[in-house]
Amino acid sequence: MSDTGSASVLDRRPPASADGGVDMIQLLTPEGERVLGGTAADYVHYLDELTHDDLRGLYRDLVLVRRVDQEATALQRQGELGIWVSLLGQEASQIGCGRAMRRQDYAFPGYREHGIAWCRGIDPMELIGLFRGVDKGAWDPNAHNFHGYTIVIGNQVLLGVGYAMGVQRDGAVGTGDPDRDTAVVAFMGDGATAQGDVNEGFVFAAVNDSPIVFFCQNNQWAISEPNTRQTRIPIYRRADGFGFPGVRVDGNDVLAVYAVTRAMLDRARSGEGPSLIEAYTYRMGAHTTSDDPTKYRFAAEVEMWKLRDPIARFKAWLGHEGIADGAFFASVEEQADELAARLRAETVGMPDPEVGDIFEHVYVEPHRQVDDHYDQLRDYLDSFADEDGE
């Protein structure tokens, strides 16, 4: 990284609170030790419901989504994908949140929520199809209650709020029926908090008391721009100004993310309105495979965050507590290898889409000008078929 140059107004930025600050909810330290008192006490009871099987399941999820990410990154490097958006480092934020959601809850992702997709039952090949360029993310959102990747920063937050307003009109909030009451989770990054759509989403949800959890993964970097270019205060404190609670959670602590998300989802489903969770985490890799983070951040920063790795700390705790043993960890590695091999084989064998897909589903009902061009393209292609005598 080059020298930052001469002094500017930007130099009044506050020192980065690299450890997340005293308000951050943490249930597991980076060394894998349980935190018992302090702010964590309000949330710790949610962990009582988790069986050892559940806890081992969380570990399996963390490892498998990281392996999906590694394999997809490798496939991009080998030219099989046009681009890949890595979640490396954010696994605990996503698995903790995704496993806190109930079947009827609905997720509105941005584009990096592969771990949420995993929890909602979306096969990673669906995501790979998007980044290979065979479609635009063609899974059925309503089959998984996981909306498509919206890509335009912040757009999905308003869709999520609108969906939550629909939930209210369906009477699916505050009934006390755990299978009926529904919450929405709208995902965003730290960069998105500067978007108008996100702030408008906060306003609409607040004035309507909508059942939504705004889940911000603060991974410290919006491509090349640090938090200080997006906000003057910690992101979770933005919620105060909109009139709902905000909480910062250690995004690399799967137990804390799970517990805090459970609490905020319960709040939303019971009719108490929206909340903001800031999952304080770190983008260990590049923004996408097209990015070069060495141009804007120090290697030492990455090294520091490696010490807070979300999987290592959870593995240490599971082992120390006797919840999982070496045989279990080895079996998960084996599963990860099998998953990676399947993804590789299916990606390499994935056929290109039919050219007619250009015109499919542009509209529900016919549109003359679309149909005309479909005919035109078919005639054009047919003209070559004739020349070849086919």
Partner 1 sequence: MAATRTTIAKALNAGLRRAMDRDPKVILTGEDIGKLGGVFRITEHLQKDFGEDRVIDAPLAESGIVGTAIGMALRGYRPVVEIQFDGFVYPGFDQIVSQLAKLHSRSRGHLKVPVVVRIPMGGGIGAVEHHSESNEAYFAHTLGLKVVFCSNPEDAYWMIQQAIECDDPVIFYEPKRRYHEKGEVDLEATEAPRGLFEARLLSEGADLTLAAYGPMVKTCMDAANAAATEGRSLEVIDLRSVSPLDIDALTTSVEKTRRLVVVHEASEFCGFGAEIAAAVTERCFYHLEAPVLRVTGYNAPYPASRLEEHFLPDLDRVLDAVDRSFAY
User: Could you tell me the CA-to-CA distances from 62 to 56, 221, 351, 387 in Å, in that order?
Assistant: 10, 22, 30, 55
The count of chain residues that interact with partner 1, using the rule CB under 8 A, is 46
CA distance 274 to 98: 17
Question: Contacting partner 1 (CB under 8 A), which of 2, 3, 8, 169?
Answer: 169
Q: How far is the CB of 155 from partner 1 (least distance, A)?
A: 5
| Residue 137 binds to partner 1 (criterion: CB under 8 A) | yes
Annotation says 258 is catalytic: no
CB contact at 8 A, 68 and 114: yes
Annotation says 368 is catalytic: no
Annotation says 287 is catalytic: yes
Question: Contacting partner 1 (CB under 8 A), which of 11, 36, 51, 368?
Answer: 368
Segment contacting partner 1 by CB under 8 A, of 41-49, 71-79, 145-153, 277-285: 145-153
Where do the DSSP E strands lie in the chain?
106-108, 184-189, 212-218, 221-222, 225-226, 246-250, 275-280
Measured from the CB atom, the residue of 94 and 150 that comes closer to partner 1 is 150
Segment contacting partner 1 by CB under 8 A, of 20-28, 143-151, 173-181, 344-352: 143-151
Q: What is the DSSP letter of 34?
A: B
Measured from the CB atom, the residue of 23 and 123 that comes closer to partner 1 is 123
Question: Contacting partner 1 (CB under 8 A), which of 66, 132, 147, 315?
Answer: 147
| Residue 201 binds to partner 1 (criterion: CB under 8 A) | yes
**Residue 238: which of 258, 210, 216 has the closest Cα?**
216
Measured from the CB atom, the residue of 200 and 301 that comes closer to partner 1 is 200
Question: Contacting partner 1 (CB under 8 A), which of 31, 33, 42, 170?
Answer: 170
**Residue 65: which of 108, 102, 103, 113 has the closest Cα?**
113
DSSP string, 238-271: HHHHHTS-EEEEETT-HHHHHHHHHHHHHHHHTT
CA distance 390 to 378: 15
CA distance 147 to 180: 19
Question: Contacting partner 1 (CB under 8 A), which of 197, 209, 278, 309?
Answer: 197
| Residue 175 binds to partner 1 (criterion: CB under 8 A) | no
CA distance 77 to 61: 24
CA distance 22 to 25: 8
| Residue 215 binds to partner 1 (criterion: CB under 8 A) | no
| Residue 115 binds to partner 1 (criterion: CB under 8 A) | no
Q: How far is the CB of 17 from partner 1 (least distance, A)?
A: 31
Segment contacting partner 1 by CB under 8 A, of 80-88, 164-172, 217-225, 239-247: 164-172
In sequence order, which residues have a C-beta less than 8 Å from that of residue 227 and are 6 or more positions away? Answer: 16, 190, 218, 220, 235
**Residue 197: which of 232, 168, 154 has the closest Cα?**
154
CA distance 75 to 69: 10
Q: How far is the CB of 186 from partner 1 (least distance, A)?
A: 9
Question: Contacting partner 1 (CB under 8 A), which of 33, 140, 334, 338?
Answer: 140
**Given strand 246-250, what is the order of strands in its sheet?**
106-108, 184-189, 212-218, 275-280, 246-250
Q: How far is the CB of 208 from partner 1 (least distance, A)?
A: 9
| Residue 174 binds to partner 1 (criterion: CB under 8 A) | no
| Residue 354 binds to partner 1 (criterion: CB under 8 A) | no
Among residues 296, 297, 342, 374, the one annotated as catalytic is 296
Measured from the CB atom, the residue of 13 and 367 that comes closer to partner 1 is 367
Q: What is the DSSP letter of 25?
A: B
Structure tokens at 265: 């989802």
Among residues 248, 287, 308, 313, the one annotated as catalytic is 287
| Residue 355 binds to partner 1 (criterion: CB under 8 A) | no
Active site residues: 283, 287, 296
Q: Which residues bind partner 1 (CB under 8 A)?
A: 135-143, 147-148, 150, 152, 155, 157-170, 196-197, 200-201, 203-204, 207, 360-370
